[in-house]
Structure 1
């Protein structure tokens, strides 16, 4: 899937591709590419739990209904409303089935020159700027948490049997908890959203090489093909967004620190923005 759309002075070119992989018969990943409203997302239904496909499609379906915002703040408010609705739907489904119905969510919002990256779980968002790649997200997994607390070394984390167990996901708690990274888009920036089915088989340098040197849709195909060549033990989904403009590049933004967003619980049937 490809698309281009000027947003303010930005020209957005994007591509996406999702594949069930070589082991699983069903694809529980889902993605959203909506440059017309500045919303991009990857969701991965929680593996090993029931209704993973339902979970990821519920998250993406809710985000697809955001509509055209009038400001960056309005876009964020609409996002919060939709993710709360999705969380409520998944919580209800889980209670009805006496199981967990949850999904990761990695979301990129763009309005004018502003961007916000929000996530829950281990689906990732990368930014390529110049010749460098940076992971904007931090995996919400037991392994990562123990590593950051100094309990596990990097080598121990890589071998720890519960390293991939999620500590956050949409639908698992009454109040969805998401991290936030925000800043300004510079001309030439490339964003890559992906499920852990990709990062389980490719390195950051592979993502940099494919997305940093190729058109977005070709980069998506190249990364999925590489994952398949290496076994593709999980569903794999990739979204690539390339930003350019017709004027001068924006000034370099100040470094932003990640923040945790605790979304308030609101009725699922609340009024739309």
Structure 2
């Protein structure tokens, strides 16, 4: 499964593979460069429930119409995710499924700016001038214990429940989305991915394989590496490259943060 487009200012490509172990691909993605809307969703629930949940997320976002203002585009996308949250809960009740939901990481680009919203452990990375920064924070049990000072970074990486997520579309009474935004510069690349990639490939390796490559080539190289290392989960990668000619950017440094806030339904 793949999707491509080549419209300014974003050039994007996405690729998804069920991996070497799983019988079904429960990941889904959305790539609409003409309106600056991109997303990766990783379903959970088993027995096709996960695939259904991630499809509901992507379908809801796909119905968002182009907007003339960035704030309105974000509002419409948040409303679509809240609608998906309720729809997944309804479907779970009808199926009698105790656990049904989907992570989501969504990228919005507008002129020379980006915004990212997410729930779960699907990630977004920003690549600039050879540097890479993870701009999302995983909503996982291990990440929360790390933030609380209960675990060290090394302990968090080896935590036996490190893949237990604490937020997902469709899970819990309400959906809480985290938000980060920033400015784009010529040559910037944004990588969205499910944890099927990050379970096998480090951030440094993502930078090495994606930097300087066309989005399609970068996606294929990253997927191939994840599969070569076992492909124990579904793996989805979306790469979007900013091509507008602008001023020289400042280089990213590890640990540098863009502005971040949390958004919750009112």
TM range (shorter): over 0.9
Matched, 1:133 2:128: no
Shift of residue 160 of structure 1? Answer: 2.0
Contact 1:88 1:174 in 2 (8 A): no
* Structure 1 residue aligned with 2:205: 206
Structure 1 residues without counterparts, runs of 5 or longer? 265-273
- Paired with 2:127 and 2:133, the residues of 1 have a C-alpha distance of 6
Contact 1:87 1:174 in 2 (8 A): no
Shift of residue 49 of structure 1? Answer: 7.2
* Distance change (3 Å), C-alpha of 1:47 and 1:208: farther
Aligned alpha-carbon RMSD (Å): 1.9
- Paired with 1:133 and 1:61, the residues of 2 have a C-alpha distance of 30
* Structure 2 residue aligned with 1:245: 244
* Distance change (3 Å), C-alpha of 1:65 and 1:13: same
- Paired with 2:46 and 2:158, the residues of 1 have a C-alpha distance of 20
Partner of residue 3 from structure 1, selected from 1, 5, 15 = 5
* Distance change (3 Å), C-alpha of 1:50 and 1:151: farther
* Structure 1 residue aligned with 2:29: 31
More displaced stretch, 80-89 vs 249-258: 249-258
What SS class does the counterpart of residue 119 from structure 1 fall into?
strand
Contact 1:91 1:174 in 2 (8 A): no
Structure 2 residues without counterparts, runs of 5 or longer? none
- Paired with 2:114 and 2:251, the residues of 1 have a C-alpha distance of 13
- Paired with 1:17 and 1:211, the residues of 2 have a C-alpha distance of 14
Partner of residue 91 from structure 2, selected from 93, 96, 112 = 93
- Paired with 1:57 and 1:114, the residues of 2 have a C-alpha distance of 27
CA deviations on 1:25-50 (whole Å, 9 max, x unpaired) are 10000001101111000000025576
Contact 2:186 2:245 in 1 (8 A): no
- Paired with 1:3 and 1:114, the residues of 2 have a C-alpha distance of 19
Contact 1:49 1:101 in 2 (8 A): no
Contact 2:182 2:259 in 1 (8 A): no
Contact 1:50 1:100 in 2 (8 A): no
- Paired with 2:46 and 2:228, the residues of 1 have a C-alpha distance of 24
* Structure 2 residue aligned with 1:195: 194
* Structure 1 residue aligned with 2:81: 83
